Amino acid sequence: MAVDTPKKVPFGVLRGLHVLVGYLLGIVLIFVGERLIGGQSSTRWILGGTGAVAMLVACMLFLIAWKRSDGERSRIEGLAALLSLGGLLALVLYLLGSDLVMGPAPVTRAKDAGVGLRQVLLVAWPILMVLSVLPLIFVQVSTASMGLGRGVEGSRVRASALSGAMTASLLCTLFLINAIAARKDVHRDLSYFKTTTPSDVTREMITGLDADTQAILFFPEYNDVLQEVCPYFDELKGLSERFTVSEVDRALEPDIAKEYRAARDGSVMLVRGKSRQKIDVGTSLDRAKRKLRKLDSEVQKALLKLTRKRQTVYTIIGHGERGADRVGGDDRSKLSELRKILRLNNLMVKNLGPVEGLASEVPADAAMLLWTDPSRPLFPGEASSLRAYLNKGGRMLITLDPESPAAPVGLLEFLGLSYSTDKLAHDHKYIPLSRSPADRYNLVTNAFSSHAATSVISRYSRHLPVLFPRSGSLDKAGKTNKKATFIVKSLDMTWPDKNADMTRSEGEKGGVFNLAAAVSMKIKMPEKPEDKKEEVKKENKDEKKDRPLSKKRSGAAKTAEGDQPEMRVVVFADTDVFADDYLGLLQVGPQGYPPNRILLTDVLKWLLEERQIGGVSTSEEDVKIAHTRAEDVTWFYVTVFAVPLFILGVGAGTRWGRGRKRRTGR
Amino acid sequence: MRSVWLIARRELVATLRSPLGFIVTALVLAIVGLLFNLRALGGGEKYSADVLAQFFYDLSGFVIVASILVSMRLIAEERQNGTIVLLLTSPVRDHQIVLGKFLGALGFMALLILITIYMPLLVMVHGKISWGHVFAGYLGNLLLASGALAVGTFGSSLARSQIVAVFVSAFLVAAMVMMWLMGRVADAPLDDIFANLALHNIHFSPFRAGKVHLRDIAYYLSVTGFFLFAATRMLEARRWR
């Protein structure tokens, strides 16, 4: 390698580095003044001016060094001077593009801004600066490493300059690529999305249609959302001849759109006679995703509104009951979801308390009474009015709670039941919600009887464990002419926490406890005059015409078979089982079936004698992960111990095997 | 290219056979498993997508740490053992050495990351998550590993011992991760620059939520490319320093 020993050293190697430091300091001062301070403050001008002078002086010194040196060093100093001038030129370009020369930048949105001189200068100056300064640093470091007073190896310095230039070029290219990628960003959302499929309930509703029903899909011909909606309705249309599906492009068939008042694309219209129900989905897939995930429940809701006659459910109030809204000081979980399910089934929900005349009689149009978590006893006269209603074949759903002080003892005695407010707990089979000993009260059970009030849930009991948080227990009491069946029971080894210390003490014997009871009684009706019978028959016929999915009549209800009225009451030893916080908490299977909801719809079906009760639909919405304490322990040991120990074992085994092979030479 | 694959394979096998390989893997799996139980699944019921996002977030922290530990030995170990001369005088070019060693380490990190797949599968059994989301999360972690490994390779090329290499790499990676904090305290336009340079915050978050952005892929590939190039330049610097 040729080494040039100069006769003249313009300013020693260390001085060359000093000049570089001054040059870089100038850049930093300009940067601080322009980017961090900015505006019209004097500090900006002082820092900017000082920085520019420092750069200029450094450039002059590099030029002087170039002029004073000769041979190989002259070429090196010339390269350094050229690079420093490049940095100075970058500064000039910055000044030309700044507000000092071009004035304030117009306010435009980034995507609307075109490519003008300002934009070109904005990109050009930093590129030139990096391309000049980085190789300059490399050159100076390389020269310095050759030692003071020694000659310079031109090839080494040029290699370092090339290295610096390549690094700078790569840096600039990557910045540009990233800027373009950020501006023209393309993205894909791969998170969970799936359109629902029709649920069994919706399918049965379509199969049971007794009048022509039409689904009109108002979408443009080529639309992503239509591609998602079509398979859902294609599955339904083969189920009944009475159900037809048609696609309408509003632009091509404006008359149909006008006839059905479809003002927008992206909607589904369900039409039955003169009744219509509209479901808005939207035409943009991104926005429609939320609706498509629960399309089944929307269709079910619309179908129920089209096909079912409105009935009335009375909610008993005035005794500290738990309701759909939380009143001041009441920290019990609300029951708004329960009310929503009743409304979804076209049931009108009305209040019935002392003001509404509960003490005198239950209104004749009551399809069912709902009494949830009463905390005060009934007023005089109310108990007898309820008894009279039930004796006529009334329907009632009662939910009790161990934390409420007053259970309706009299009414329960009338039904042949007793209620224990000792909270039930289990040591192993519970849902950990608060990660505290209180979780033992969150019972799960899949012990259902084969009663009609648990017809669906008992069929799939293995897969549908119901959550009973903080439940009391029911038992039979005295002799009665009513038939009481315990439809839900706790799992074995459940124990009553009599002293409420959340741990099992002596005397708290484990066993199976009754969590819900279905009570029924056939009502003997007095003989009616012939003309009255005819009238009732006619009324029944008319009603059946109006209500294809309903087989019951209001007031004194009659069973489907034999036309003999029957009193039906279901009592739950827990109200939280249907409370908002717990009703949809457990979800099982890939479809996310909520067992507590299924139990509720089963019970409502039996009480109202409906073929179908809506409220359980397929949903592709994300589900909350709930698992039992036992599952928690399994997951913990598998993830924290089993797999890491397996890896360690395999690693250690392999090493030992190789070591043995080496030792034995085999 | 054959030389690159040879070096990569040798590097991967050496890492897998060394106690460092399986001890780091077991340790990372145990800690990620613990965090999966405590943070992702713990604290009451959570949506499966949230559990998965939290899992990928926790995993990313260990990916960064493991990348630094794995990369510390890449070049510094050769220097420490005196075998760098053999390597540099062998008929392979500097960039082939760097790329081969990097790919070997990346292969090991890919194995370490993918071995955690049983945790998303456990979530999948009980919840609703898409394979796309799982893919996005793992892609993000792999790209993050690639970026951190490249920085670590550069750190390893600067140092003469593995200990120094791990400190240099940890400092560089920490500085790049902390950029988002600087982005929060700096004023415009520096805030955007710092925030976009941050190794983890802005660019990793979409992946954990199941979103794949071209800009984030471009960023991680750029970081990888730049630091591998810089590491090559550092090896070549022996010619002009």
The answer to whether B211 contacts A189, with C-beta atoms less than 8 Å apart, is: yes
The token duo for B189 is: 């336009």
Number of domains in chain B: 1
* pLDDT tier, A369 (very low <50, low <70, confident <90, very high otherwise): very high
> Is residue A571 domain-shared with residue A660, that is, in the same domain?
no
Q: Contacts of residue A590 in chain B, CB cutoff 8 Å? A: 128
Q: How far apart are CA A181 and CA A184, in angstroms?
A: 5
**Closest Cβ opposite residue A625 in set B26, B46, B219:** B46
Please check the confidence at residue A559 and state whether its pLDDT lies above 80. Answer: no
SS3 letters across A404-435: CCCCCHHHHHHHCEEEECCEEECCCCECCCCC
The answer to whether residue A353 sits within a structural domain is: yes
Q: Which of A172, A178, A442 to probe by mutation at the B interface, max B CB count within 10 Å?
A: A178
> Is residue A601 domain-shared with residue A640, that is, in the same domain?
no
| Cβ atoms of A455 and A518 closer than 8 Å | no
The answer to whether A590 contacts B128, with C-beta atoms less than 8 Å apart, is: yes
> Is residue A24 domain-shared with residue A73, that is, in the same domain?
yes
Q: Contacts of residue A625 in chain B, CB cutoff 8 Å? A: 41, 45-48, 51, 123, 126-127
Q: What residue ranges in A227-365 does DSSP mark as E strands?
A: 243-248, 267-272, 275-280, 311-316, 347-352
Look at the alpha carbons of A201, A203, A207, A209 in this order and tell me if their dihedral is positive or negative.
positive
- Of B212, B39, B43, B49, the C-alpha closest to B124 is B49
From A238, A271, A305, give the residue that closes a domain.
Answer: A305
Task: Look at A22-36, A559-573, B139-153 and tell me which has the smallest mean pLDDT.
Answer: A559-573
The verdict on A92 touching B (C-beta cutoff 8 Å) is no
Q: Contacts of residue A36 in chain B, CB cutoff 8 Å? A: 187, 190
Task: Look at A188-192, A443-447, B228-232 and tell me which has the smallest mean pLDDT.
Answer: A188-192
Residues of chain A numbered 585-644 and touching chain B (CB < 8 Å) = 585, 590, 592, 620-627, 632, 635-636, 638-641, 643-644
Minimum Cα–Cα distance from A626: chain B residue? B45
Beta bridge partners of A518: A485, A570
Full residue range of the structural domain in which residue A231 is found: 200-305
The answer to whether residue A600 sits within a structural domain is: yes
Q: Contacts of residue B132 in chain A, CB cutoff 8 Å? A: 188, 190-192
Å between A19 CA and nearest CA of chain B = 20
**Closest Cβ opposite residue B21 in set A622, A639, A651:** A651
> Is residue A517 domain-shared with residue A387, that is, in the same domain?
yes
Classified as helix, coil or strand, A596 is helix
Q: Mention every residue, 6+ apart, whose C-beta is less than 8 A from residue B94.
A: B88, B232, B235, B236
Q: Contacts of residue B226 in chain A, CB cutoff 8 Å? A: 170-171, 174
Q: How far apart are CA A590 and CA A531, in angstroms?
A: 56
* pLDDT tier, A548 (very low <50, low <70, confident <90, very high otherwise): very low
- Of A437, A441, A493, A494, the C-alpha closest to A469 is A441
The verdict on A31 touching B (C-beta cutoff 8 Å) is no
Number of domains in chain A: 4
The answer to whether residue A111 sits within a structural domain is: no
Q: Alpha helix (H) ranges present in A519-616?
A: 530-546, 580-583, 595-608
From the CA atom positions of chain A, what is the Rg in Å?
41
Residues of chain A numbered 479-498 and touching chain B (CB < 8 Å) = none
Q: Alpha helix (H) ranges present in A356-408?
A: 382-391
The token duo for A489 is: 């029971």
Q: Mention every residue, 6+ apart, whose C-beta is less than 8 A from residue A387.
A: A411, A414
The answer to whether residue A110 sits within a structural domain is: no
The answer to whether B128 contacts A643, with C-beta atoms less than 8 Å apart, is: no
Minimum Cα–Cα distance from B211: chain A residue? A189
| Cβ atoms of A595 and A326 closer than 8 Å | no
Q: Is A310 exposed, middle or buried (0-12, 13-18, 19+ CB in 10 A)?
A: exposed
Å between A618 CA and nearest CA of chain B = 13
| Cβ atoms of B121 and B43 closer than 8 Å | no
The answer to whether B48 contacts A625, with C-beta atoms less than 8 Å apart, is: yes
Full residue range of the structural domain in which residue B176 is found: 2-239
pLDDT of residue A560: 46
pLDDT tens column, A384-437: 899 999 988 899 999 999 988 777 888 888 899 999 999 999 988 888 877 788
The answer to whether B212 contacts A645, with C-beta atoms less than 8 Å apart, is: no
> Is residue A219 domain-shared with residue A336, that is, in the same domain?
no
Q: How far apart are CA B199 and CA B176, in angstroms?
A: 5
The verdict on A145 touching B (C-beta cutoff 8 Å) is yes
> Is residue A514 domain-shared with residue A643, that is, in the same domain?
no
Residue that wins the pLDDT comparison between B109 and A522: B109
- Of B73, B143, B74, B139, the C-alpha closest to B102 is B74
The answer to whether residue A397 sits within a structural domain is: yes
The token duo for B138 is: 């793992």
The answer to whether A177 contacts B241, with C-beta atoms less than 8 Å apart, is: no
* pLDDT tier, A112 (very low <50, low <70, confident <90, very high otherwise): low
Q: Within 10 Å of residue A351's Cβ, how many Cβ atoms?
A: 14
> Is residue A337 domain-shared with residue A474, that is, in the same domain?
yes
- Of B127, B113, B112, B133, the C-alpha closest to B41 is B127
> Is residue A554 domain-shared with residue A426, that is, in the same domain?
yes
Please check the confidence at residue A197 and state whether its pLDDT lies above 70. Answer: yes
Å between B56 CA and nearest CA of chain A = 13
The token duo for A602 is: 């089963």
Q: Contacts of residue B206 in chain A, CB cutoff 8 Å? A: 187
The answer to whether residue A188 sits within a structural domain is: no
Residue where the block lists tokens 């809701």: A301
Write phi, then psi, for A137 (nearest 5 degrees).
-60, -45
Q: Which of B32, B138, B215, B238 to probe by mutation at the A interface, max A CB count within 10 Å?
A: B215
| Cβ atoms of A124 and A176 closer than 8 Å | no
The answer to whether residue A531 sits within a structural domain is: no
Share of chain A above pLDDT 70, in %: 83
The token duo for B64 is: 């960064």
Q: How far apart are CA A582 and CA A96, in angstroms?
A: 67
> Is residue A314 domain-shared with residue A451, that is, in the same domain?
yes
Å between B123 CA and nearest CA of chain A = 8
Å between A563 CA and nearest CA of chain B = 46
Bond before B189 cis per omega within 30 degrees = yes
pLDDT tens column, B29-78: 899 888 888 877 776 667 788 888 889 999 999 999 999 999 988 888 88
Summarize the confidence of residues A37-43 as an average pLDDT.
Answer: 77
The answer to whether residue A85 sits within a structural domain is: yes
ipTM of the complex, rounded to two decimals:
0.82
Task: Look at A326-330, A498-502, A551-555, B118-122 and tell me which has the smallest mean pLDDT.
Answer: A551-555
The verdict on A652 touching B (C-beta cutoff 8 Å) is yes
How many CB contacts within 8 angstroms connect chain A with chain B?
A: 180
SS3 letters across A40-66: CCHHHHHHHHHHHHHHHHHHHHHHHHH
Residue where the block lists tokens 């002059």: A60
> Is residue A339 domain-shared with residue A427, that is, in the same domain?
yes
Integer CA distances (angstroms), A537 to A395, A546, A553, A610, in order: 22, 14, 11, 20
Q: How far apart are CA A424 and CA A16, in angstroms?
A: 86
> Is residue A496 domain-shared with residue A417, that is, in the same domain?
yes
The answer to whether B214 contacts A650, with C-beta atoms less than 8 Å apart, is: no
Q: Which of B228, B240, B241 to probe by mutation at the A interface, max A CB count within 10 Å?
A: B240
pLDDT tens column, B68-103: 999 988 888 888 888 888 888 888 888 999 999 999
Integer CA distances (angstroms), A442 to A433, A437, A438, A574, A596, in order: 8, 10, 8, 11, 13
* pLDDT tier, A666 (very low <50, low <70, confident <90, very high otherwise): low
| Cβ atoms of B32 and B59 closer than 8 Å | yes
Strands A566-572 and A495-497: unpaired
Run of H or E residues at A396: strand A395-399
From the CA atom positions of chain B, what is the Rg in Å?
19
pLDDT of residue A359: 86
| Cβ atoms of B235 and B98 closer than 8 Å | yes
The verdict on A554 touching B (C-beta cutoff 8 Å) is no
Summarize the confidence of residues A323-328 as an average pLDDT.
Answer: 76
> Is residue A607 domain-shared with residue A467, that is, in the same domain?
yes
Minimum Cα–Cα distance from B120: chain A residue? A639
The answer to whether B130 contacts A190, with C-beta atoms less than 8 Å apart, is: yes
Write phi, then psi, for A184 (nearest 5 degrees).
-105, 40
pLDDT tens column, A504-539: 888 888 899 999 999 999 887 665 555 555 555 555
pLDDT of residue B140: 96
**Closest Cβ opposite residue B46 in set A189, A193, A624:** A624
Run of H or E residues at A483: strand A483-489
The answer to whether A174 contacts B236, with C-beta atoms less than 8 Å apart, is: no
Å between A636 CA and nearest CA of chain B = 6
Q: Contacts of residue B38 in chain A, CB cutoff 8 Å? A: none
pLDDT tens column, A215-241: 999 998 778 888 888 888 888 888 888
Q: Alpha helix (H) ranges present in A260-316?
A: 285-293, 295-307
Residue-wise burial string across A574-599, b where 16 or more C-beta atoms lie within 10 A, e elsewhere:
bbbbbbbebbbbbbbeebbbbbbbbb
